[in-house]
Structure 1
Amino acid sequence: MKSLRMASIRSQILVLALLLIVLVSVVAATTEPFIYGRHDKGIAIGLLAGRIERVVDQFRDARSPAEEEAALSLAARLQIPVEKLPVSQISPRDETEATSADILQRTRRALEDDFLGSLRHLFDKEKSVPLIVMVDKERALVFHMPVFPRSLWFFPAVASGVLKIVIPLIVLAYVSSWLITRPMGRFTAAAERASTDDSLEKPFVAEGSAEIRSLAASLNIMRSRILQMAESRTRMLTSISHDLRTPLTRLRMRVERCEQPELQRKMLHDLTVLDGMINESLAFLTNAVHNVPSRKVDLSSLLQTIATDFSETGIDVRFSGPRRLKYMCRPSFTRAISNLVENASRYATQIDIELQDAGDDGIFIRVSDNGPGLTDELKTRVLEPFFKADEARTTGAGGGFGLGLPTAEGIIRKGHGGKLTLLDRVPNGLVAEIVLPLVPESGSGGLSVTSGPTFSIT
C-alpha cells in the first residue's frame, strides 16, 4: 500500500481501475447465481413450461375419463389452473397439436415482455393470460397462466446493478479520495498556510504521489528563494534607513544655525517628516525580521498605560475591560495598539479601547473611533503597506505614511497568531477588532486570567 501511495497518479488510476474490474468480477461470480437462481424470469417461465408439458403429456396418454381427471389433478397439485375446452371453441391457429418447443415458445410469448413494455406497465394491474394447448384432434386444454408481479422481474437487474456497479464504485471512490485526493487536500491546506505564515520554511510536505512530491519539492525551493530575496531586500532597506539618520542629524544641526526664522521653520518641518518616515519604515521592517521572545504581561495594565499616554497629549482615549488579564505577548504588541490609536486620532475626536475575555473564543481588543469610517474596499486596502486613505477620512489633522496599520497587522498576525479586522461602528466610525488566540499553559508561560470587576479609565 505504501508503494501504491508513492506511485504516480497515472499508476494509481490504473491500479484502481484493475481493482474495480476484479471486484466487479468477484461480486458477480458470487452473487448472480443466487439472485438469478430465485428471481430470473427465464428460469421461472422454463419451469412453468415444463410443468405444462408434463400435464399435456399425461392428458394425451389418458384413455379414460378417470385418467383425464388424474392429469387435471396433477395440474392442480402443480398449482396450474387448467380446464378442458370443447373442440368447437378452438381457434384455427390452435388446432395444431402442441409440441414441447411450441409449449415453451407460447408460454414465453404469453408471459414475457420486452424491457420497455415491462417498464411501461410496471405498475399496471396484472391479468391472467389463458394458454390454449391442442392435445390431439379431439381434445384441448386451457391453462390459466399464473400472475407474476412485474416488479419481480426488475429485482435481479437492480440487485445485480447495485452489487456490481454501485457498491464497487463507492468503494473505488472512497479509496481514490483517500489515496489521491487526500494528499491534494493536505497540499492545499499547506499552500494556504504558506500564504499567511512566513515563518514556515518548508510548508509543503513531500508526501503522496510522485507528481505531488515533485511539486512540493519545487515549491519549497521556490519559496526558500523568495524568502531569501525578501530578507535580503529587508536588510538592505533597513541599512539604508539607518544610514539616513546620519545626514539627517547633520542637516538638523545646520538648520538650527540658520538665521532666517521662516526658512528654518520650514526646513525643520521637512526634517521632522523625513524622520517620521524613517521611524515608521524601520518599525515596519524590524517587525518583519525580528522575533523577540514572548513574555507574560497584564493586558489590562498595558492598555490602560497606552490610553493614559495618549490622553496626556490631549487625545480623548478611554479604556474599559477587566481589572487584570494576563497574556503571553511580545514587546511589539504595544506598538501595534499604539499604531491603531494613533491612526484613529488623526480622523476622530474620541477613541475607545475595549478589552474582553471571551473564554474559549480567545481575547478581543477593540479600538473604536467616532470618525467617518471606511468603505468595505478601503478596509482591505489600508492594511497594504504605503497605502493611505486620507481622502476617505478627513475629519482630523495630520497624516501618516501608510505603514501604521500594516505594521500593527503584521505584529498581531505573525507575532501573536491573531487576527486584525476593520469593522463599521454604529452610528459612525471605525472599529479595529483584534482577536488573540488562547495560549496553552506550559513551562514558558501561558494564558492566565484573573478577572475583577469591569471598569473604565478616561
Structure 2
Amino acid sequence: MKNLRRASIQKQILILATFLVILVSLVAMFTEPFIYGRNERDFQSGLFAGQAEIILDRFRAAASTQEEDAVLDSAARLGINVERFAPGSRVVGQEKVVSPSELVRHIKELLASSLATSVRRLLTGEPKSNSMVVKVDARRALIYQLPVFPAMLWLAPAVASGLLKIVIPLLLLGIFSSWLITDPLTRFAAAAKRVSMDDNDEPFQAEGASEIRSLAESLNVMRDRIQSMVEYRTKVLSAVGHDLRTPLTRLRMRAERSAEPELRRLMLADIATLTSMVDECLAYFRDPSAGEDFRKVDVSSLLQTVATDFSDTGINVTYEGPRRLAYVCKPQALTRALSNLIDNASRYATQIELTLQHRDDGGVQIRVADNGPGLTDELKAKVLEPFFKADESRQIGRKGGFGLGLPIAKGIVIKGHKGEFALLDADPSGLVVAIDLPAFEGPHTGGSDTLPGKPIPFVREPQNDRP
C-alpha cells in the first residue's frame, strides 16, 4: 500500500484499472451460479414441460376413472393445474389443441419470453395464464393451465448481475481510487492554506504520488526563498528605521531652538508624524507578539485597565464582563491590539463598549463595539490591508494615522494567539470587532501579572483604518 501511494499517478491508474478487471471477473465467477440458478426462465419452463409430459403418459396408461383421478391428484400435489377436457366442449380463447408429441415444444413456445417482453409486462401488468388442450386419444383430452412467471424473473437477474458485476465494483473502486489519489492533495492544500494564513514554519510533507512529492519539494524550496526575502526585507526596514531615529532626533533639537513659534510648531508636528510612522512600520514588520511569552493573567483586569486609561483621556469607553477571569495569553501584545482598536473606533464614534465572555472550551471572546457609521462589506476587507487609509473627510477632527492599527491587531490575534479576528455590523449602526481566543495549550509562566495593583503599562498609538 505504501509503495502504491508513492507511485506516479499514471502508474496508480494503471494498477487500479487492472485491479478492476480482476475484481469484476471474480465477482462474476462467484455470482453467476446464484443469479442464473433456479431463477433461470428456461430451467423453469423445461421443468414444467417435463412434468406435464410425465402426467400425460400416466394419464394415457390409466385403465380406469379412479386411476385417472389419482394421476390428476398427483399433478395437483406437484403444483400443476390440469383437468379433463369434457367431450364435446369447444376450444375458446387462447387454448391450443396439440398432439402428445408436440406437448413439450408448444409449452416452451408459450412460456418463452425475452427481457423486453418482461419489461413490457412489468409496466402493463401481470400476464394472464394460457391454456393448452392436449389430446390423449380419440375420446380423452387434458387441459393444462400454463404457469405464470413473474415479469421480474427476467428483469431482476439482469439488474442484479449488472449491480454486482459492474456498478458496485466500479463504485467501490472509484471511492478507493479517489481517496488514494486525492487524499494527499487534500492534505497538501490544507497545509498550503495554513502557510498562507499564518507564518507556519512547518514545511510541506512530501508524501503521496511522485508528482505530488516533487511539487511539495519545489514548494518547500520556494517557501524557504520567500521567507528569506521577507526576513531580509524586515532587517533592511528595521535598520533603516533605526538609523532614521538619529537624524529625527537632531531635527527635533534644532527645531526646538527655532526663534519662530509657528514654524517651530509645524516642524515639531512633522517630526512627530515621521517618528510615529517609523515606529508603526517597525511594529508591523517585527510582530509585537513575537518576543513575548505566554503568561497566566487576569484578562478582565487587563480589559478594565485599557478602558480606564482611555476614559481618563476623555474617550467614552465602558467595560462589560466578569470581574475576574484567568487566561493564558501575551498580555503586552493583547493590550496593544485592544488599544489600537479602541483608538481607531474613537475617531468615528462617541461611545465604545468593550465586552468579555468566557467560552466553554476555556477560551475567551472579546468584542469592541462602537456607535459609529460602520463599514461596508468592501471596506471591511480593505481596512485589514496594511497602509490602507480611507477618506479622511469623515473623521471627527482628529489627525489620521498610517493604516496599520487594524493589521497589527489582527496579526496579534491570529499569529500571536492563534485566534479569530472578524469585523461585524453593530445594531442599529456601528462596527463590532470580534476576537475569539482559544484556550492555550502549552508551557507558560506561572502567576498572574495583571491582577489589581499590578496593571500592564498602557501603550496607545494613533491609527486611521476606516472612513
TM-score when normalising by structure 2:
0.85
| 1:333-382: CA deviation from partner (whole Å, max 9, x where unpaired) | 22111111111121122222222212226201111222211112111210
Distance (Å, rounded) in 1 between the aligned partners of 2:103 and 2:243? 110
Distance (Å, rounded) in 1 between the aligned partners of 2:91 and 2:384? 98
Aligned equivalent of 2:182: 181
Q: Is the 2:96–2:132 contact (alpha carbons within 8 Å) kept by the matching residues of 1?
A: no
| 1:27-64: CA deviation from partner (whole Å, max 9, x where unpaired) | 22223212322211121112112222333455566788
Distance (Å, rounded) in 2 between the aligned partners of 1:114 and 1:414? 71
Distance (Å, rounded) in 1 between the aligned partners of 2:262 and 2:226? 48
Change (3 A) 1:287 1:95: closer
Q: Is the 2:420–2:435 contact (alpha carbons within 8 Å) kept by the matching residues of 1?
A: yes
Distance (Å, rounded) in 2 between the aligned partners of 1:115 and 1:446? 80
Pairing 1:245–2:251 present:
no
SS across alignment from 2:389: coil
Q: Is the 1:347–1:396 contact (alpha carbons within 8 Å) kept by the matching residues of 2?
A: no
SS across alignment from 2:122: coil
SS across alignment from 1:255: helix
Change (3 A) 1:249 1:116: same
Aligned equivalent of 2:223: 223
Aligned equivalent of 2:353: 352
Q: Which amino acid aligns with 2:360?
A: G
Distance (Å, rounded) in 2 between the aligned partners of 1:77 and 1:311? 103
Q: Is the 2:356–2:367 contact (alpha carbons within 8 Å) kept by the matching residues of 1?
A: yes
Aligned equivalent of 2:463: none
- The 10-residue stretch of structure 1 (38-47 or 178-187) with the greater mean CA deviation from structure 2: 178-187
The alpha carbon displacement at 1:312 in A equals 2.3
User: What is the RMSD of the two structures over their aligned residues, measured on CA atoms?
Assistant: 3.1
Change (3 A) 1:84 1:414: same
Identity %: 55
Change (3 A) 1:214 1:136: farther
Q: Is the 1:87–1:138 contact (alpha carbons within 8 Å) kept by the matching residues of 2?
A: no
Aligned equivalent of 2:270: 270
Give 1:312-351 correspondences, 5 Å limit: 312-330=312-330, 331-351=332-352
Q: Which amino acid aligns with 1:260?
A: E
Distance (Å, rounded) in 2 between the aligned partners of 1:276 and 1:420? 25
Distance (Å, rounded) in 1 between the aligned partners of 2:151 and 2:191? 56
Aligned equivalent of 2:258: 258
Aligned equivalent of 2:160: 159
Aligned equivalent of 2:299: 299
Distance (Å, rounded) in 1 between the aligned partners of 2:423 and 2:33? 68
Change (3 A) 1:143 1:358: same
SS across alignment from 1:365: strand
Distance (Å, rounded) in 1 between the aligned partners of 2:78 and 2:250? 121
Q: Is the 1:20–1:168 contact (alpha carbons within 8 Å) kept by the matching residues of 2?
A: yes
The alpha carbon displacement at 1:94 in A equals 6.3
Aligned equivalent of 1:191: 192
Change (3 A) 1:295 1:115: same
Change (3 A) 1:310 1:72: closer
The alpha carbon displacement at 1:443 in A equals 4.5
Change (3 A) 1:161 1:447: farther
| 1:64-104: CA deviation from partner (whole Å, max 9, x where unpaired) | 8777667656644543223454598569x9677464xx544
Query: How many correspondences in the alignment?
Result: 446
Aligned equivalent of 2:455: none
Distance (Å, rounded) in 2 between the aligned partners of 1:447 and 1:72? 102
Pairing 1:424–2:431 present:
no
Distance (Å, rounded) in 2 between the aligned partners of 1:396 and 1:166? 72
Q: Is the 1:343–1:404 contact (alpha carbons within 8 Å) kept by the matching residues of 2?
A: yes
Q: Is the 1:49–1:107 contact (alpha carbons within 8 Å) kept by the matching residues of 2?
A: yes
The alpha carbon displacement at 1:417 in A equals 0.6
SS across alignment from 2:424: strand
Q: Is the 2:329–2:440 contact (alpha carbons within 8 Å) kept by the matching residues of 1?
A: no
- The 10-residue stretch of structure 1 (352-361 or 275-284) with the greater mean CA deviation from structure 2: 352-361
The alpha carbon displacement at 1:308 in A equals 2.3
TM-score when normalising by structure 1:
0.87
The alpha carbon displacement at 1:3 in A equals 1.3
Q: Which amino acid aligns with 2:111?
A: L
Give 1:14-25 correspondences, 5 Å limit: 14-25=14-25
Unmatched segments (≥5 aa) in structure 1: 453-458
Q: Is the 2:306–2:339 contact (alpha carbons within 8 Å) kept by the matching residues of 1?
A: yes
- The 10-residue stretch of structure 1 (377-386 or 364-373) with the greater mean CA deviation from structure 2: 364-373
The alpha carbon displacement at 1:149 in A equals 2.3
Aligned equivalent of 1:364: 365
Aligned equivalent of 2:458: none
Aligned equivalent of 1:129: 130
Q: Which amino acid aligns with 1:254?
A: R
Change (3 A) 1:233 1:347: same
- The 10-residue stretch of structure 1 (241-250 or 335-344) with the greater mean CA deviation from structure 2: 241-250
Q: Is the 1:347–1:397 contact (alpha carbons within 8 Å) kept by the matching residues of 2?
A: no
SS across alignment from 2:395: coil
Aligned equivalent of 1:27: 27
Distance (Å, rounded) in 1 between the aligned partners of 2:82 and 2:326? 96
Aligned equivalent of 1:410: 411
Distance (Å, rounded) in 1 between the aligned partners of 2:25 and 2:157? 17
Q: Which amino acid aligns with 2:277?
A: M
Distance (Å, rounded) in 1 between the aligned partners of 2:317 and 2:295? 26
Aligned equivalent of 2:235: 235
Distance (Å, rounded) in 2 between the aligned partners of 1:436 and 1:365? 8
